[in-house]
Every structure is written in C-alpha cells, then in structure tokens.
Amino acid sequence: MLKHALRVMQVFRPKLLHCTPLQTLSIRGPLFTNIPVSYFSTSLPKHKKLEMPALSPTMETGNIQKYLKKIGDPITAGDVLCEVETDKATVGFEMQDEGFLAQILVPEGSKGVKVGQLVAVIVPKQSDVAAFANFKDSPNKQPEQSQAASKPASPPQQTPPPQQAASRPTGGALPKHSKLGLPALSPTMEKGNLMKWLVKEGDQISPGDVICEIETDKATVGFEVQEEGYIAKLMVPAGSKDIKLGTILAISTPKKDNVSSFANYTLDGAAAPAKTTQAQPAQEQQQSTNSDTPIQTVSQSGQRIFVSPLAKEFAKKNNVALEYVKGTGIEGSIVKKDVERFLQSGSKPEVQQQAAISSEQPIQQTTPPAEAKQQTKPATPSKPVAIEGNPYIDTELTNMRLTIAARLLESKTTIPHYYLTMTVTMDKVLKVREELNKLQKVKISVNDFIIKASALALKDIPQANSQWHGTYIRKFANADISIAVATDAGLITPIVFNAGSKGLGTIASTVKELADKAKANKLKPQEFIGGTFTISNLGMFGIDQFIAVINPPQAAILAVGKTSKRFVPDENGQPKVENQMDVTLSCDHRVVDGAVGAQWLQRFKYYIEDPNTLLL
C-alpha cells in the first residue's frame, strides 16, 4: 500500500510542485501505524493575478521601489499597492479590485520588471490567504488550468470555442478591437465638430498620435490616442458637426490583418457580437467589455497625464477632462478620489451653467493661440473679432508660457495658501557685504545672503523643507533653493543645490552662472527641475512688499521686497534711521502649519540680522 502511494506521488510530482497542501492525514493498515502523508489539491481558491501595468505610454519595464501593502492586508479600489519607477517618474500601482493581498511574487527593489509580468495575487476572502503561502508563478499557467479543471464544464452549445468565434468576423464575433469615443476636450464641452481626419483606415497608430482635429466650444484641439494598433474603421466622416460626447468616432485593432474584417462594420451590426459575449463566463465578458471600450486620455497641455485605470474609467463616465484634475497620488498622478473631489467641488454645475449661457448668447470666438499650438496640423483660424479704434496684436504662446500658466493655475486653485510677513533689519548685512566685496572678485549681492539664510533656516525648521505628495509628505535633508529668474520667455527657477553647505562666494558665482544661462535659454533640465524651496526677489524693481505663488510640489516660497531707510525708535525712544526689508512667506497649509511658518521666519530673521552666523 505504501509503495502504491509513493508511486502515485512520483507520477504526479510535476503537478504537485505547483499545488497547495490541504491537510495531512494518516494511512492506517495492517502493516502501518500512523504514517503521515500530505495530500495536495490541484485547485486554488478563487484569486486574481496582478500584472505589472504600463504606467506611462512609453513604459516597457519598471522598478518596484517599495510595497505599501503586506501579505494579508485588505485592499479596496483606489489603494496603491506599490511604488513603481517608470521611464518617466515614480508612480503608484493603484488597485481596481477589493480583497486581500495573498502573495507578493516580485520582491521590493526588483528592477527591470516587464510590463505584463505577474507581480502579486489577491483573493476575495482573508481566509484564502494561507492557501497561497507557497504559490509560485508558473510559466505554463498551471494554477489557472487546474482552477478551470476543478469547475464544472460548461455545455458546449452555450459557449462557442474562441477559435470558431474568431473565424466568423461577419456573422459572429469580430476580431479584438477598441472603440474610440469622443472625449470631453474642455470642461464645458458637450459636443464637438470633427474638422478633419489625420489618419486613414489601415494606418498604424501609437500612443501620443493625433488622429483627428475636433472643434470644441473653446478651440480646435487634437484627439490624442493612448494605445498602439491600426485604424480599422472611421465611423464619423470629416466635417460632421454637433457630435455628442461618447459617440464612437473610429475603431482600432491590434493587428493589421484584422482591418479588412471591419470593412462593412456598423455600430448597429455590433449587436450580434455583444449577444455572443453574454454566454461567456463573467470574467471573460468583463475583459471583452474593457477591451471594447478603452479610456482615451487627451492632453491639451502637450504633456502626458499620469492617471490610474480606475480614475480613467470614472472620469470617462462623468465626462471629466483629466487635464483639469489635480492629482494627489504618487508624483502627482491622478487617482479616483481626485476625480470625485473635482466633481464635488461644484465645477460641473458651474460649467453647465456657463455652457447654457453660451448657448443662449452665441458669440464669435477666436481660437486661443495657447490651444491652437496643440494641433498637429494647424486648422484654418477663425477671423478675429475686431475692436474698433483699438489695434491689437495676438502673440502665440510658447510652451514655456503654457507651462507657467498651467502650474500657477494648479497652485492657486489646489494649494491652500497662507501668508506671513516680517520686517528684518539689514544694516549689518549691508556692512558685511561691503567688506566682503572688497576681497571678492565675484561681487556678493544681498540676494546671496538671503539664499544662505534661507537654507540655514530650513535646516533648523525641516518641516518647511518638505513637499506634498497626496498620500504622504516628503521631508528633505538638504536645502535646494530655487531662484526665480525673469527672462524674455517667462519666469524660470534654476536651483542652487545644497545651498546650506556653500559659502557666500560660491553661492554668488553659482547664481550668476545660472542666471546667465537662463537668460540665454541654455539651462539644462537638471539645473531647474526639482528644488525644495523658492525665493522670488523683486526688490531690485523698487517693490516694497508682495506675496508669491507657491511653486508645486514645494510647500513654501519667500517673497523679498526692497531695502529702504525707515525711522524707528532707538532704546531711548528717539528716532533713528534703519535699513529695513519686508519679506513674506507663502506656505502650503497642508504641509506647513502657521506656527511652523512663523518659526522659520524667526530663524531667517536671526541669520540675516547677525550675518556673522552665515560665515561660519
């Protein structure tokens, strides 16, 4: 009997290696007493495999930086499982399902994880987690096959074989395809006009390609696709007007050989394949639905929008343009809660009201140059409305100006600003500066003292040297000071890295070099991207005091006014003249509390009014 049992285990060993032990029983017989034998099940509890998604349009592999969940933790839709470093940024892998994390198959710190590679497993019941303790990813998909084998087979007449369905594109199911619906390309858009197609049937498309030009209630913009494939069918002819949101404009398919199957395709004719999918298992039907109705994300700002699949789906259902939603996920990515917050903010009713007013009082609109630049091929501009007796010039916006506009709008509409103003005495700084400049080849400016004092104050009050990242606050060890520099093209903020460790002379030469590069438009990206704190100085223009807009994702910015002589009482109450300067600190209240901002200003004042501390 024992030999027979061992023989059975030897025969089925390849399968048993991928199975989970259910229980250990004892074989009893005339020759054996309590011989323990482990019995295995070739089926696992209901589960779902989580594969590495494409978190950017060009992502092929990613690095798993860290997991935010551990085995056994509950998961709800919208939770971030782990942080993944893509070719663009570090973003969150957001869940779309509820359940419990049963197994992590790719360890933290793994690099070069391919898109589609199995990363983790989740189960609907916490009691099922233990069954996956020894679960391993099998190249031959053994667990899935075993699971399918453990279920009762469906009657053949109810579920036609996939091969048979694929071979009947006209009478049965069509090849795999996606329907490209008209998205909301502006906040107030309810319908649009298809000006012209930039592709034809059979053309290959890639993420970022603009397939047509759509005239909205604001401007003519490009419809940018986010997937690869081939245009199988153009459903709406060029020149069509008043196309409602969600209307299917075109059909795409992943293989060029499938294009001919859609020659006679109509939306009415899509009913037959839809009925066929109802007979499929629920999981397959859901996958088919998802592939037929992909979410299209259109970027009017010319930049990629990083958004979770769940947020995309929710935004599409509510006709929300994602470029107007502030992301609070990792590295500013958009999650479902951000779209919900956008809808709850009242923007939608206000938008509808504006649209209603526009429909009651139609006016002739001029395509704004900012949005016209987003077109791949410029459309014929509408005739500007003339203003009698007042000549004007329309200046096309540069990408830099568009970026400035987008970031400042984002800052003022999403960051809860508050402002703190303090007056500092500059007599000692001016005296020390005069003495140092007698010895320095590169002249030291008042702004260099301000940079050094700010960096030391950030070291003393590190809460001000932080950034808001939606689900967490990132606190930095070094003070990387961004300096606002005005150029002909617009404002740019080159960075003095680790300014607290630099001397005044080094800071002076660094700032001069960066300012010259900025004005010559020769700054490298690494010289202006980043920064933990910003200084904006308008004192040289005679400005006494002002407030500045925070540079996201930073949490604070210091606005510096001019140094002026003022009468103040001395220790005896007699008037005396002092050189004074007003500074205003703008803070993000989500990161920097009022008391923390006040403490930072106190430390800044201490260093400025005793400049010898800056020389240590």
Give catalytic residue positions: 589, 593
Q: Write the CA distances from 424 to 326, 524, 561, 578, integer angstroms.
A: 36, 35, 11, 10
Q: What is the DSSP code (8-state) at residue 322?
A: G
At 283, is the secondary structure helix, strand, or coil? Answer: helix
Contact between 498 and 478 under an 8 Å Cβ cutoff? The reply is yes
Pairing, β 533-537 against β 481-483: parallel
| 158 touches 279 (CB < 8 A) | yes
3-state secondary structure 364-433: CCCCCHHHHCCCCCCCCCCCCCCCCCCCCCCCCCCHHHHHHHHHHHHHHHHCCEEEEEEEEECHHHHHHH
**Token pair 């301000």: residue:** 450
Taking alpha carbons only, the member of 209, 187, 190 closest to residue 200 is 209
Sequence-distant (≥ 6) Cβ neighbours of residue 26 within 8 angstroms = 34, 35, 36, 37
Exposure pattern of 392-407 as b/e (b: 16+ CB <10 Å)?
eeeeebeeebbbbebe
443-447-453 Cα angle (round to 5)? 115
Burial class (CB in 10 A: 0-12, 13-18, 19+), 161: exposed
- C-beta of residue 56 within 8 angstroms of C-beta of residue 306: yes
DSSP per residue, 118-135: EEEEEESSGGGGGGGTT-
* 547, 518 Cβ separation under 8 angstroms: no
User: Rounded to whole angstroms, how far apart are CA atoms 599 and 514?
Assistant: 30
**Whose CA is closest to 341, among 360, 326, 323, 351?**
326
What whole-number distance in Å separates Cα of residue 576 and Cα of residue 570?
Answer: 6
Handedness of CA 244, 249, 253, 259 (dihedral sign): positive
